[in-house]
Amino acid sequence: MSTEVSAHPPGQAPTFTTRDGVEIYYKDWGNKTAPVVFFSHGWPLDSDNWENQMFFLSNAGYRTVAHDRRGHGRSSQPWFGNDMDTYASDLDQLFTHLKLTDGVMVGHSTGGGEVARFTSRYGGHGRVKKAALVSSVTPFLLQTPGNPAGTPLSVFDGFRAAMVQNRAQFFLDVPTGPFFGFNRPNATVSQGLIDSWWSQGMAAGFVNAYECIKAFSETDFTEDLKKMDIPVLVLHGSDDQIVPIQASALAAIKLLSQGTLKIIPGGPHALPNIYAAEVNSILLDFIKG
């Protein structure tokens, strides 16, 4: 199907349709003539998880864009295409649809992998000038003989089993515990953040969220990072219980030709939420620098 730019009807959320017939929801905030910052969300969330950063940067004079990945949030829920290559192709079509160039991409967790795959395959010709990988699954999350610091497959099998048994409870257990670091002693627990995570996760299609576990855990982004010949910020929390820093940020920085590593001491996986003000400041400095 065509990805030509066309105005959406007044009062309706902006969407576009991919070549394989999937409707993708996106947000497009701020001054449309300003430099663009594109956000890619983590599993099993949607673009709402970036609203603090989008609001901040839009008010700082930037155009901010974020999508709901296929099968997530307000996008349609296809039975097919729940893999990193297709996610990157969807972004390629969205960038064409919105005529985005010379932008900065920011990805959290699964979204960091999506940014790396997109940038390595479609980010040339002035499309992407910088990228930020926040609590990112890059370069390779799965434990293998060649990647002993990774997370065992049994952990991700456990995720899938928990989804099949009782997705609603599993999607409550994750934010109540390790995602935000609320299981740590003296943590300040926010029921609002837990409820928001749960509602975003439950909005995702079941098969889409289920298959995305394989996409974020078993995709090797090593070669993608090596091809990223642009400035890349690697931002991670030292107490990330979802994507441990040893196999992710500390490995990723060694593969990037123009990488900058920033670690937030004691930071959990959910840096954009728990350390929103600090993340906003770091991103703004990186974008302007």
Q: Which residues have a catalytic role annotated?
A: 109, 240, 269
Tokens for 126?
């002035």
**H or E stretch covering 264:** strand 259-264
The Cα-based distances of 35 to 108, 129, 219, 231 in angstroms read 20, 11, 31, 16
For residue 135, what are the CA distances in angstroms to 110, 125, 251, 269?
Answer: 9, 27, 12, 6
Phi, psi for residue 239 in degrees, rounded to 5 = -115, 40
Query: Residue 193 region, left (φ>0) first, then alpha (ψ -120 to 50), else beta?
Result: alpha
| DSSP-derived 3-state class of residue 13 | coil
Encoded tokens for 15: 């969407």
91: its two tokens: 């972004």
Question: Half-sphere exposure of residue 114, counting CA atoms within 13 Å on the CB side?
Answer: 30
Beta strands in 22-178, from DSSP E residues, in sequence order = 23-29, 36-40, 63-67, 103-108, 128-134
